[in-house]
Amino acid sequence: MESSPGRGRGRPPGVSERVRRDVHEAVRKILIASGYAALRMDDVAAIAGVHKSTLYRQWPSKAALVRDVLNAGAARSYPRPDEGSWPADIDALCRDLVRLFRSPTTIAFVRTRAIADDPELIEELRDLGALEMRFVREPFERAIARGEIDPGLSVEMLMELVISPFLARVAITRLPVDEAFGRSVAATMRRLGRRSAPIDILCHILYK
């Protein structure tokens, strides 16, 4: 892990938006091509066309830099479907998840998280992970508030159930994430959310 000793975590002024954009793009390129372990601040600086000291003035370590890139991606890319009903919301969420998880940048970020063994990176990503999952939580909370799904269901579990198939395909099985897959996940979630859905339906869906 590369770091510059004696610096805090703040964002000192003086880095232009152009520099930030170029640095972020350099990080994304390296993560897609080689992964987090191979990312070096020297290489980021060279690709972005800036001096390494410029990086360390803004980001004290590569973990802090990757977190900033992930955070910027979250603000820009994560869907916020609100279609007015539970079926429409879950369909829209799964369509957007298909788009999101077909992005090479998303795939690189997921794999970075999956194999992260850098304690600083893990710490940097902990709070960000909770923030990122907010876009998955919102459709379930709205559906419960509207009385459309069983209020006794755990929102946290529903969130994990809808996101896990996408994560598994990207990080484990490497099977395609396509429109048919997204429709299948949405249909499964609609059945699970039914107020009258018994446990045997859940088991059938999960283990058929």
> pLDDT tens, 32-51?
888 888 899 999 999 999 99
Does some domain include residue 67? no
* Percent of all residues in the chain with a pLDDT value above 90, rounded to a whole number: 36
Question: Could you tell me if 170 and 136 lie in one domain?
Answer: yes
Does some domain include residue 123? yes
Does some domain include residue 108? yes
Question: Could you tell me if 154 and 202 lie in one domain?
Answer: yes
Does some domain include residue 12? no
11 pLDDT band, cuts 50/70/90, is: very low
Question: Could you tell me if 53 and 95 lie in one domain?
Answer: no
pLDDT per residue as tens digits for the range 174-202? 899 999 999 999 999 988 876 555 544 45
* Percent of all residues in the chain with a pLDDT value above 70, rounded to a whole number: 77
Per-residue buried b or exposed e for 78-108, using 16+ beta carbons within 10 Å of the residue's own CB:
bbebeeeebeebbbbbbbbbbebbbeebbbb
Q: Give the count of domains, the chain.
A: 2
Q: Enter the pTM of the model.
A: 0.68
CATH number, domain containing residue 43: 1.10.10.60
Residue 175's domain comprises 80-207
What local confidence, expressed as pLDDT, does residue 76 receive? 58
Rg of the chain over all Cα atoms, to the nearest angstrom: 20
